[in-house]
Amino acid sequence: MSPTTSTTPSLVELTARADERGLAAAALACLDRCLPLLAPEATDQLRPLWLGVARAGDGWPDRLAEARSAVAAVAAPVEPEEAALVRRMLDEAPGTWAPGPLREWADTCSLAALELHHRLCAAPSPGLAEVLERCRTGGPEGVGPLADGELRRQVRVLEVLADGAAGGLRRALDLAAEGRRVVRAVRSRRARTA
Q: What is the 3-state secondary structure (H, E, C) of the chain?
A: CCHHHCCCCCHHHHHHHCCHHHHHHHHHHHHHHHHHHCCCCCCCCCHHHHHHHHCCCCCHHHHHHHHHHHHHHHCCCCCCHHHHHHHHHHHCCCCCCCHHHHHHHHHHHHHHHHHHHHHHCCCCCCCHHHHHHHHHHCCCCCCCHHHHHHHHHHHHHHHHHHCCCCCHHHHHHHHHHHHHHHHHHHHHHHHHHC
Tell me what the mean pLDDT of segment 99-126 comes to. 86
Residue 5 binned pLDDT confidence (cut-offs 50, 70, 90): very low
Tell me what the mean pLDDT of segment 8-23 comes to. 90
Tell me what the mean pLDDT of segment 69-96 comes to. 90
Comparing 157 with 142, the larger pLDDT belongs to: 157
Residue 91 binned pLDDT confidence (cut-offs 50, 70, 90): very high
Query: Residue 4: its pLDDT value, please?
Result: 36
Tell me what the mean pLDDT of segment 32-61 comes to. 93
Query: Residue 179: its pLDDT value, please?
Result: 94
Tell me what the mean pLDDT of segment 71-96 comes to. 90
- Say what percent of the chain tops pLDDT 70: 82
Residue 102 above 90 pLDDT? yes
Query: Residue 129: its pLDDT value, please?
Result: 66
Tell me what the mean pLDDT of segment 82-89 comes to. 92
**Is residue 185 packed enough to be buried (19+ CB in 10 Å), middle (13-18) or exposed (0-12)?**
exposed
Query: Residue 15: its pLDDT value, please?
Result: 93
What Cα–Cα distance (Å) separates residue 99 from each residue in 53, 79, 96, 105, 180?
13, 31, 9, 10, 26
Residue 163 binned pLDDT confidence (cut-offs 50, 70, 90): confident
In whole angstroms, give the CA distance from residue 151 to residue 192: 27
Taking the mean position of all CA atoms in its chain, how far away is CA 51?
17
- Ranking 31-35, 37-41, 188-192 by mean pLDDT, the lowest is 188-192
Q: Closest Cα to residue 71, out of 54, 93, 53, 99? A: 93
